[in-house]
């Protein structure tokens, strides 16, 4: 039997969750901690960060500044800022990673799969033709083809260059 090693997954499987809201902690930590927190872009009303436990390389989380648990609780200006941040993220990911498409969505509520149910956020997952195979189905393993730090470097640089 061949073995696939992914030791960084143990942090997700057995790690102790940090207290409080991830997005609020990251926002309050400030830009000097963006590399550690995987933040690739900060706007006045939203931020974009890489998912530390991605489904695919370049999987980003787009969150509004407002700490609310449902899209319906965002006001029009906050909703617009969230969509503008998502559009910006998709443009940068297209430029840097050249995916063939995206899965974009939100999990609203814990029963819907929200790991952070108290702070609404969107997922944007780059997809490529042929990026699926039998491993997730039979082996319950998903291969991420690029180191997370390298993806952060490329995506953060592209956001910075875009202004």
Residue of 67, 121, 123, 147 with catalytic role: 121
Judge whether 65 and 45 are in contact, CB under 8 Å. Answer: yes
Whole-angstrom distance, CA of residue 90 vs CA of residue 77: 20
Distance of alpha carbon 121 from alpha carbon 39, whole angstroms = 14
Instruction: Identify the helix (H) or strand (E) that includes residue 129.
Output: none
**CA–CA separation, 62 and 48 (whole Å):** 5
121 is catalytic: yes
Judged by DSSP in three states, 98 sits in coil
What single-letter DSSP state applies at residue 59? -
HSE toward the beta carbon, residue 63, CA cutoff 13 A: 27
- Give me the phi and psi of 35, to 5 degrees please: -65, -45
Phi/psi for 114 (5° steps) reads: -70, 120
Where in the sequence numbering do the catalytic residues fall? 121
């Amino acid at each position: 039997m061949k073995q696939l090693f992914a030791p960084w997954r143990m942090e997700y499987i057995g790690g102790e969750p940090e207290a409080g809201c991830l997005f609020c902690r990251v926002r309050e930590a400030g830009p000097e901690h963006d590399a550690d927190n995987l933040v690739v872009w900060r706007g006045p009303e939203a931020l974009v960060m890489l998912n530390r436990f991605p489904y695919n390389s370049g999987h980003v989380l787009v969150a509004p500044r407002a700490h609310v648990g449902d899209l319906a609780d965002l006001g029009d200006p906050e909703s617009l800022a969230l969509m503008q941040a998502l559009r910006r993220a998709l443009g940068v990911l297209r430029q840097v990673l050249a995916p063939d498409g995206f899965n974009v969505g939100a999990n609203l509520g814990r029963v819907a799969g929200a790991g952070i149910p108290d702070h609404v956020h969107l997922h944007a997952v780059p997809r490529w033709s042929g990026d699926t195979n039998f491993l997730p189905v039979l082996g319950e393993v998903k291969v991420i083809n690029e180191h997370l730090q390298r993806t952060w470097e490329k995506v953060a640089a592209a956001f910075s260059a875009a202004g």
